[in-house]
Amino acid sequence: MDTVSRKGELRLMLIFSAAVLLMPVWLSPFGAAYPDLLQKFAIFGIFAVGFNILFGLTGYLSFGHAVFLGVGSYAAVWSFKLFTMNVIPAVIFGVIFSGIFAALIGFVSLRRSGIYFSILTLAFAQMSYNLAYSVLTPITNGETGLQLRLHDLRMIDALFIEAGEGLPLTNLFGIKMSGYPGFYFCAVLLIIGFYLALRVKNSPFGLALKAIKSNQTRMGYTGFNSRPYMLSAFMISGMYAGLAGALLAVTDPLAGAERMQWTASGEVVLMTILGGAGTLIGPLLGAGLIKYFENIFSSYDDSLLHQAFSYLPDAMNDVVVGMISPFVGDGWHLTLGALFMVIIIFLPGGIVGGITHLWQRLVKKNQEPTEMEGKQQ
C-alpha cells in the first residue's frame, strides 16, 4: 500500500493546495472558471473525499450519505436565521449536527455489513427525506425549503450590526461569501479536509480501516473491536458531508429536502467510483468531472444543438440533433450513466486506478523488461 512519509505528505499538500487555489486559472481554458461552478467543485470535492474515508478505506458502501449533506445545510441555515450571518458558526453547527446524525444512523446500520448495511443507510436516508417533507415542516419548512427571512432573529448580529435594507448576505467577518471569496473559503476547507483524509489514510487508524475491508474476521481474532472503528469512520465521513452541506448553504443560503434524496446519495457513490475508490485524488476528480459535465451537458438544449450543427444540411442536422438531444439538457444523466458504465467495465479502479495501471506498465517496461509477467495485479 502506498503510505506516504512526512516529506511526501508535505510535497503532496503543496501541490494539492496550489492546484486547488489556482483552479480559476487552469480551469479557464475548459470554460469552467466561474465562481458558481468552482464552488461546486470544492464543495462536492469535500463530500467525496469524506465519503471515500468510509467507502474507500473500509469498503462499507453507504447509500444514504446525502442525509448528512441535508442536515449540514439545515443546520447552517438555522444558524444564519437564529444567530448570525457569519459563516463560521454555520459551518461548525453543520459539522456537529451531521456528526450526531451519523452517530445515530451509524450505530444502527453498522450492525450489518455488505448489502444489508447499504440498504439500512438507504432506508434511513429515505426516512429522513420524507420526514423533512412532512412531520418536520416546522424545522425544514417542507416543500418550500428553509429560507432566510427579513425578520429572522439573528441574535448575535442584532447586537453588533445595524440591520440594513433587504436580506443580509452570508459573510466571513464582513467578507461576502458569494463569488470568488466564497470559492476561496470552500477551497481552504477542502485543503484542510484533504489533509485530514491524508492523515487518516496514513495513520494506524487508517491501516485498521483497510484491514477491516480486507478481512474483518481476522481483525476480531487479532484483538481489534471493529465496531468502534467503523463507527468512527462513519461519523468522520458524515461530518465531511455535513461540512459540504453547510457550505452549500454558505454560498446559497437555502436548504431543501431534495438535498437528502437518494439520487444525491447515489451521486457521491458515482463520484467516488468514477474517480477511483480508496485513492485520495480519485473522488475529487470524480466530483469535478461529474459537476463539470452536469454543467456543460445540461446547459445544451435543442435550439443550441441546432445552432452547433448548423453547418450540416437541414435533414442531416435534424437527424444528428435528434440523436444527441436525449443525452443533453435534462437527459444528461443518460450521458453520466453511459460514462459510468464505460469506466466500470474498462477501468475497474476508476480514473486514478487506470492512470496508475498505465504508469506502472510504462515504468516497468522501461526498467525491467524481464519481470513483466511477475505480478498479476
Partner 1 sequence: MTTVLNVSGVNKRFGGLQALDNVNLKVEEGQTLAIIGPNGAGKSTLLNVCIGRITPDTGSVEFHGEILTGKHPYEINQAGVARVFQTPEIFTELNLLENVMIPALSKRDGTYHFNIIARMKEEKQIQAEALHFLEDFGLEEQRFSDAGSLSRGDKRRLELAMCLVQHPKLLLLDEPTAGMSRLDTNSTIELLKKIKERGMTKIIIEHDMQVVFSLADKIVVLAQGAIIAEGTPDEVKNNPKVQEAYLGDEHA
3-state SS of 224-271? CCHHHHHHHHHHHHHHHHHHHHHHHHHHCCEECHHHHCHHHHHHHHHH
Shortest Cβ distance from residue 92 to partner 1 (Å)? 20
Q: Which residue, 43 or 230, has its beta carbon nearer to partner 1?
A: 230
Q: Which residue, 28 or 222, has its beta carbon nearer to partner 1?
A: 222
Q: Is 155 left (phi over 0), alpha (psi -120 to 50) or beta?
A: alpha
DSSP classification of residue 167? P
- Distance CA(69)–CA(129), nearest Å, equals 11
C-alpha cell at 69: 449533506
Q: Which residue among 29, 225, 369, 373 contacts partner 1 (CB under 8 A)?
A: 225
- Distance CA(250)–CA(345), nearest Å, equals 38
Q: Is 111 in the site for partner 1 (CB under 8 A)?
A: no
- Distance CA(44)–CA(290), nearest Å, equals 10
Q: Is 230 in the site for partner 1 (CB under 8 A)?
A: no
Q: Is 149 in the site for partner 1 (CB under 8 A)?
A: no
Instruction: Give the number of residues in contact with partner 1, rule: CB under 8 A.
Output: 36
Q: Is 365 in the site for partner 1 (CB under 8 A)?
A: no
Q: Is 375 in the site for partner 1 (CB under 8 A)?
A: yes
Q: Is 206 in the site for partner 1 (CB under 8 A)?
A: yes
Q: Which residue, 9 or 252, has its beta carbon nearer to partner 1?
A: 9
Q: Is 262 in the site for partner 1 (CB under 8 A)?
A: no
Q: Which residue, 32 or 95, has its beta carbon nearer to partner 1?
A: 95
Q: Is 213 in the site for partner 1 (CB under 8 A)?
A: yes
| 266 burial type by CB count under 10 A (0-12 exposed, 13-18 middle, 19+ buried) | middle
Q: Is 232 in the site for partner 1 (CB under 8 A)?
A: yes
Candidates 26-34, 144-152, 156-164, 212-220; binding stretch for partner 1 (CB under 8 A)? 212-220
Please state the separation of Cα 287 from the chain's center in Å: 6
How far are the Cα atoms of 37, 287, 291, 297 from residue 294, in angstroms, in the given order?
10, 11, 5, 6
Nearest alpha carbon to residue 87 among 166, 185, 164: 185
Q: Which residue, 162 or 373, has its beta carbon nearer to partner 1?
A: 373
- Distance CA(56)–CA(323), nearest Å, equals 37
Candidates 107-115, 135-143, 165-173, 211-219; binding stretch for partner 1 (CB under 8 A)? 211-219
Q: Is 220 in the site for partner 1 (CB under 8 A)?
A: yes
Give the burial string for 64-100 (b: 16+ CB within 10 Å, else e). Answer: bbbbbbbbbbbbbbbbbbebbbbbebbbebbbbbbbe
List, as one string, the DSSP characters of 323-334: HHGGGSGGGHHH
- Distance CA(255)–CA(352), nearest Å, equals 33
Shortest Cβ distance from residue 373 to partner 1 (Å)? 13
Q: Which residue among 229, 234, 297, 300 contacts partner 1 (CB under 8 A)?
A: 229
Q: Is 214 in the site for partner 1 (CB under 8 A)?
A: yes
C-alpha cell at 45: 470535492
Q: Which residue, 43 or 208, has its beta carbon nearer to partner 1?
A: 208
Shortest Cβ distance from residue 349 to partner 1 (Å)? 13
Q: Which residue among 28, 134, 144, 222 contacts partner 1 (CB under 8 A)?
A: 222
Q: Which residue among 203, 263, 307, 360 contacts partner 1 (CB under 8 A)?
A: 203
- Distance CA(267)–CA(294), nearest Å, equals 11
Q: Which residue, 176 or 199, has its beta carbon nearer to partner 1?
A: 199
Shortest Cβ distance from residue 46 to partner 1 (Å)? 17
Q: Which residue among 11, 111, 176, 199 contacts partner 1 (CB under 8 A)?
A: 199
Q: Is 1 in the site for partner 1 (CB under 8 A)?
A: yes
Nearest alpha carbon to residue 29 among 299, 283, 292: 292
Q: Is 82 in the site for partner 1 (CB under 8 A)?
A: no
Please state the separation of Cα 52 from the chain's center in Å: 9
Dihedral sign from CA coordinates of 359, 363, 369, 371: negative
Binding site for partner 1 (CB under 8 A): 1, 3-6, 9, 196, 199-200, 202-208, 210-211, 213-215, 217-225, 228-229, 232, 375-377
